[in-house]
Structure 1
Amino acid sequence: MRKRSRYKLLEYFAIAGLITFVVILVFNSTIRPSLPKKTPAPKELYNVISPSTYKFILNQPELCENISPFLVLVIPVTLKDTEARTAIRRTWGQDGLIPRVTILHLFVIGQPAQRDPVLQEHLEKESKEYGDIIQMDFVDSYHNLTIKTMMIMNWIATYCQGAWYAMKIDADIFLNVRYLVDYLHDQSKSSRKDYITGSVISDAVPHRDSFNKWYISEGLYPDSWYPPYVSGAAYVFSTDLARKISWASRFVRPIPLEDVYVGLCLHVLGVKPVYATKFLGFRNLFEVRRLKYERCTFAKRIIVNGFNPQNLLRIWHDFQKSYFTC
């Protein structure tokens, strides 16, 4: 009798799970914004994000000439972020971190609204020493992050299309390179095309409060929902998408939210971002929350958010030394 009750309970759970799955499918299909018409954006708006509008101050066009990297890490920073660049070179951006896996890193920089000749001279020396800096003549600001992101896409499409994957990653992120490489190796061959993964946001709505940091006016974006997009803190994509996103930007009006903007370009392409999770979705591998450092917790994540250069350097040695004990 007890066994029959147990089977009955399992049956109820199965039915409830099926109903929940169907409800989610129906809900997602009803709230999803309609596919945009492929109408070219007005020329004056497209010029804001067009690669032809901006010029290189510093470039590394030969970086991928004779190699096909497994992964290219592209880090948007500003001219003054010298400490962050140094910390990344000494931690997750260091060369030869994973044996027999070619990983490159690049820092992408604009220029300050007011010129700083001393910092600019230092940057040029840094570029000669490390060969890992791209600088263009757009103004570096929060509202120009969409421009910077599209310049990243264009650089990959132009100079490093032979790479397998690229990763856009902010400078204040802890990156578990070993876990990321293993994770990408475990993906099917389909991840080499139209693939983008990270912390997927699928239920975001535009903020209409003008005092909100992420404010978007109805005139700039009239829809009530955003299509799914990946958090701009860090995401990985197959390099074929760099060219396709650059193409799709011709049909998407620029907005100052760079991660949402990439999501809008993906929507034009009909590409859905993939959530990177483990254990039935309970562990988010792209951890955009700030977590207190705990070696074995970090060993089971691809990224963790919120590290200044000093903290990154402080924990890196411990993390590397004891990684395989978790």
Structure 2
Amino acid sequence: MEYELEDTQAVHNCLCNHRPLQNVHTDLSLRGRPRRGCPIFLNATHIIRFSGVEEVKEDGVLFKCNPPLNITDVRKKKLKFMVSLYPLELNFDELIKVRLEGRKIINEPINSHDFSYIHTGVNVCDGSSIYLLLVIKSSAGNFRNRQTIRNTWGNVDNYEGVRRVFLLGYNHGVQKQVDIEALEHGDIVQEDFWDHYSNITFKTIMGINWVAQYCPKAKFSFYVDDDVFLILNNLKKLRKSTLRESGLMLGKVFFFSTPFRDKTSKWFVTWEDYPFVNYPNYLAGFAYLMTADVVKRFSLAIPYIQPIPIDDTYLGIVAKKLRIPVKNQYGFAMFHPTWVSFFVPKLSFRKTIAFHRMSSPETMMRTWIEYCKQYQAVCRN
């Protein structure tokens, strides 16, 4: 189906007149209601391309719009991912330079992330220098997971120069308990978006923005889920032996991945949200490392890159647009939840950095006990 000219022009005007875009499929508000705004792919038929700087004005920089690219029947075309076709298409090196210089960009963001902090953990990064910040994605109701992490691998008192925060969305049913937890531990970072898996990209963006704002001097930040068992000593060994301190994104890379089109899938993405048959290479979302400069560049670029509801693939898109390579690293292990209890006594802790899918806080504690039998020096709690 071809759209009439006025529909195409409406999308073009929506962007070029600097009105913010919101994706009605994935942009859920606190109460789960979609915010209405300009469509981004117009049912996967039209894509807007941006390139260059149109003009520098006294009040800022205006990036120009090219005419819409008409893509008819995108499913039959089996279009592969192209950086130049994913909105916004502009010179991100120039954009980041402009933002670092403090100059205004006149084009309004299409991914404004206009949520407010409830808890900021502002004192986490005060004091001594930090070489590693643990940024742990957690559901608001997972109190036992968080406490188990504090008592095991996430006990930062065992490690010099390491800090920890948990990322939460909002859940009215448990908010009072979260408030108490935040007051007691001071390690909760929370915004007022609905805490649901469909908003996991919001949570990840919140974490990147928070690190860039509140902990910019942390040399490395390690993003991890709350069902992961992390071996910090192995991560420290990796840092000393091979890690560079700039331009680095490291973890388990998924190569040649494709979108899930089955509506029953947890990772379902519509053709309207993502009209390509493949994803760029990306890091598995359960555990990955970023250097401070990468976090900063991401925080500056993300407002101008259209989100999708799968956070790790979205970060892969951002990395591709920023020309930051993702590095595959041995030591990131993924288990099926039913396998974990069987394998815990048999796990090799010598080289593994992160084990995914701890089936329960009890399993994580069992894993910690097994680890401590071999490495008592780091198990002082």
Q: TM-score range by the shorter chain?
A: 0.7 to 0.9
What pairs with 1:154-193 in structure 2 (closer than 5 Å)? 154-188=209-243, 191-193=244-246
Structure 2 unaligned spans of 5+: 1-78, 90-106
Alignment of 1:246-257 (within 5 A): 246-257=299-310
Alpha-carbon spacing, 1:213–1:43, altered in 2? closer, same or farther (3 Å): farther
How far apart are 1:60 and its partner, in Å? 1.7
Alignment of 1:1-326 (within 5 A): 33-36=81-84, 40=88, 45-47=110-112, 50=113, 53-98=114-159, 101-112=160-171, 115-116=172-173, 119-188=174-243, 191-277=244-330, 285-290=331-336, 291=340, 292-294=343-345, 297-307=348-358, 308-323=360-375
Q: Please report how far the alpha carbon of residue 252 of structure 1 lies from its aligned counterpart in structure 2 after TM superposition.
A: 2.2
User: What is the distance in 2 between the residues matched to 1:123 and 1:214?
Assistant: 28
Which structure's residues are more often helix, by fraction? 1
**CA deviation digits over 1:57-116, x for unaligned, max 9?**
111223223332111111111221110011000001102323xx311111111112xx22
Between stretches 244-253 and 32-41, larger displacement belongs to: 32-41
TM-score, normalised by the number of residues in structure 1:
0.79
- 2:100 match: none
With over 3 angstroms needed to count, the CA separation of the structure-2 counterparts of 1:40 and 1:176, relative to structure 1, is same
Distance 2:134 2:80 in 1: 31
Q: Which residue does the alignment assign to 1:24?
A: none
Corresponding residue SS for 1:65: coil
Q: Distance in 2 between matches of 1:179 and 1:237?
A: 16
| CA 32–228 in structure 1, closer or farther in 2 if over 3 Å, else same | farther
Give a deviation string over 1:222-267, Cα, whole Å, max 9, x none: 1221111000011111122112112222332111000000000001
Change (3 A) 1:295 1:175: farther
Contact 1:298 1:304 in 2 (8 A): no
Amino acid at match of 1:157: A
Structure with the greater relative contact order (CA < 8 A, sep ≥ 6): 1 or 2? 1
SS at match of 2:157: coil
Q: TM-score, normalised by structure 2?
A: 0.68
CA contact (8 A) 1:157 1:242 kept: yes
1:43 is displaced (CA, Å) by 5.4
Choose 149-158 or 207-216, whichever is displaced more. 207-216
Distance 2:296 2:85 in 1: 20
The residue type paired with residue 297 of structure 1 is S
* SS of residue in 1 equivalent to 2:178: helix
Shift of 1:34: 3.0
SS of the residue 1:36 aligns to = helix
Task: For residue 210 of structure 1, report the CA deviation from its aligned partner.
Answer: 2.2
Partners in 1 of 2:303 and 2:147 — Cα distance? Answer: 36
The DSSP-based 3-state class of the residue aligned with 2:177 is helix
| Separation (CA, whole Å) in 1 of partners of 2:86 and 2:231 | 38
Contact 1:227 1:263 in 2 (8 A): yes
Identity percentage over the alignment?
28
The 8 Å contact of residues 88 and 305 in structure 2, kept in 1 or not, is answered as yes
CA distance in 2 between partners of 1:258 and 1:89 (Å)? 25
| RMSD, aligned CA | 2.2
Conserved 8 A contact 1:95-1:103? yes
Given that 2:133 and 2:222 are in contact with CA atoms closer than 8 Å, whether structure 1 keeps it comes out as yes
What residue identity is the alignment partner of 1:74?
A: V
- 1:156 Cα deviation after fit: 0.4
Task: Decide whether the 8 Å contact of 2:110 with 2:305 is kept in 1.
Answer: no
1:38–1:251: 8 Å Cα contact kept in structure 2? no
Aligned residues: 276
Q: How far apart are 1:321 and its partner, in Å?
A: 2.8
Note closer, same or farther for the CA distance 1:195–1:122 as it changes in structure 2 (3 Å cut).
same
